[in-house]
């Protein structure tokens, strides 16, 4: 889990506008994950996976009985959990029912951010200390607003380097266009990202070994299928559970998100990775698109201490240079990747890696160097243990 976040909170709200209000109010303190549409069992599993000790549940007159039953069920399973009810502050019946169900407090929609943060801060002093799971694997994300095969090219090679270091590695390719990593690795897949979301409860070592694609070096791959729903339509809660489950099975996960539009799902992944690589080139039009997304994240209070800039297809004598781009993005410069158009084209067309085609090329060496840096971040993690994950799902 990203060290840039202090805490993760769960929220069941009426709509996205209420969720954004809550996220803005608590941005300095942590990340608020939408948990709408989840059952009691799924919500309890999400509490375990996020190590949350505080859940916000919105109340309204039409669904009041079911919402209060949910509060009671959660507290029966987890008595130390703090639940804060959300609703119309002028409706005394909502407040009364919330307190009877066991909610610790009640917050009116639209309350000032300082009031919400103050309440959470006070509750935090009375709650058990939040712990994290030390066995979670590393999670590296590459994101840029521009579509293209180069995002898949880079992440495929980075993941291969990490795998070659001896770590069990997964390439999660959610970049656009879809499925480029499969073509680059010369692989076919019968199990895709959408299948993994649909089979969260069955996601164990046996399913991974039998269903996930694998290259000759042992690298596992999970990619989009043409029929999978768009990332922005995925539930943030389901995405969080999927990532948490996968991090139980792999020492390092490299995620390609190049080309994705900004969404709650995208921000969920970005907020909870260990290393965020902002991917750009010297094209000012693409830079503007990246900066628009980056500003939206900053406006929403998303912490970016774990982010750095990668400048791809770099041409030394063309402006702006890498240092100017890093200054404009407000991020440290991680790496510059040479343009090397012929080498890239050969790798894409022949389905061979740069390590095989051009091991001495500057682009190849830069990718190997960056991959080794990523591997060093997770090299001390123990091989995945599945007992913790089995305990979470139990026999529900």
Domains 8-126 and 138-378 share a fold: yes
pLDDT per residue, tens digit, the chain (396 aa), is 444 445 889 999 988 899 989 998 998 888 899 887 778 998 998 898 888 999 999 999 999 999 999 999 999 999 999 999 999 988 999 999 999 999 999 999 999 999 999 999 999 888 876 655 656 789 999 999 999 999 999 999 999 999 999 999 999 999 999 999 999 999 999 999 999 999 988 999 999 999 999 999 999 999 999 999 999 999 888 898 899 899 999 999 999 999 999 998 999 999 889 999 999 999 999 999 999 999 999 988 888 999 999 999 999 999 999 999 999 999 999 999 999 999 999 999 998 999 999 999 999 999 999 999 999 988 776 566 554 445 444 544
| CB burial readout 111-136, b (16+ within 10 A) else e | eeeeebeebbeeebeeeeeeeeeebb
Quick check: bond before 134 cis, omega within 30?
Answer: no
Region 8-126: CATH code = 3.40.50.2300
Predicted pLDDT at 45: 87
Structural element, H or E, at residue 299:
helix 284-299
Q: What is the dihedral of CA 6, 12, 14, 16, to 10 degrees?
A: 40
CB 337 within 8 A of CB 314: yes
Predicted pLDDT at 14: 87
Q: Quickly count helices (H) and strands (E) in the chain.
A: 17, 13
Predicted pLDDT at 384: 61
Phi and psi dihedrals of 272, rounded to 5? -115, 15
Domain-wise residue ranges, the chain: 8-126, 138-378
195: left (phi over 0), alpha (psi -120 to 50) or beta: alpha
Return the CATH architecture of domain 138-378: 3-Layer(aba) Sandwich (3.40)
Predicted pLDDT at 271: 87
Predicted pLDDT at 133: 62
Query: Closest Cα partner for 271 from 290, 257, 252, 251?
Result: 257
- Across the beta sheet with 8-12, what order do the strands follow? 31-34, 8-12, 54-58, 82-87, 105-108
């Amino acid at each position: 889990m990203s060290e840039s976040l202090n805490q993760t909170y769960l929220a069941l709200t009426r709509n996205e506008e209420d969720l954004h209000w809550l996220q803005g109010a608590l941005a300095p303190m942590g990340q608020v994950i939408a948990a709408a549409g989840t059952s009691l069992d799924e919500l309890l599993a999400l509490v375990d996976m996020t190590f949350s000790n505080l859940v916000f549940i919105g109340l309204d007159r039409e669904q009041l009985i079911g919402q209060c039953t949910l509060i009671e069920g959660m507290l029966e399973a987890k008595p130390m959990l703090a639940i804060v009810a959300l609703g119309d502050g002028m409706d005394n019946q909502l407040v009364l029912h919330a307190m009877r169900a066991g909610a610790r407090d009640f917050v009116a929609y639209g309350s000032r951010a300082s009031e919400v943060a103050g309440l959470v801060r006070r509750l935090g002093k009375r709650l058990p200390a939040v712990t994290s799971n030390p066995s979670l694997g590393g999670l590296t994300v590459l994101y840029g607003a521009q579509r293209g095969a180069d995002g898949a090219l880079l992440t495929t090679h980075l993941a291969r380097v990490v795998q070659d270091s001896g770590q069990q590695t997964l390439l999660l390719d959610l970049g656009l266009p879809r499925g480029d990593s499969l073509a680059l690795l010369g692989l076919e897949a019968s199990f895709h990202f959408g299948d993994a979301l649909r089979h969260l409860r069955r996601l164990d070592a046996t399913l991974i070994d039998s269903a996930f694609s694998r290259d000759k070096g042992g690298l596992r791959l999970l990619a989009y299928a043409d029929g999978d729903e768009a990332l922005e339509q995925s539930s943030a809660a389901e995405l969080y559970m999927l990532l948490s489950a996968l991090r139980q099975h792999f020492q390092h996960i490299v995620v390609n998100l190049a080309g994705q539009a900004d969404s709650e799902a995208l921000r969920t992944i970005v907020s909870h990775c260990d290393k965020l690589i902002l991917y750009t080139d010297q094209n000012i039009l693409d830079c503007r698109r990246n900066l628009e997304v980056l500003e939206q994240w900053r406006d929403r209070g998303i912490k970016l201490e774990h982010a750095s800039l990668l400048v791809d297809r770099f041409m030394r004598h063309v402006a702006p240079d890498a240092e100017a781009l890093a200054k404009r993005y407000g991020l440290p410069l991680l790496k510059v990747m040479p343009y090397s158009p012929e080498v890239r084209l050969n790798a894409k067309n022949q389905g061979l890696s740069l390590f095989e085609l051009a091991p001495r090329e500057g682009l190849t060496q830069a990718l190997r160097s960056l991959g080794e840096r990523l591997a060093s971040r997770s090299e001390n993690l123990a091989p995945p243990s599945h007992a913790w994950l089995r305990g979470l799902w139990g026999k529900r």
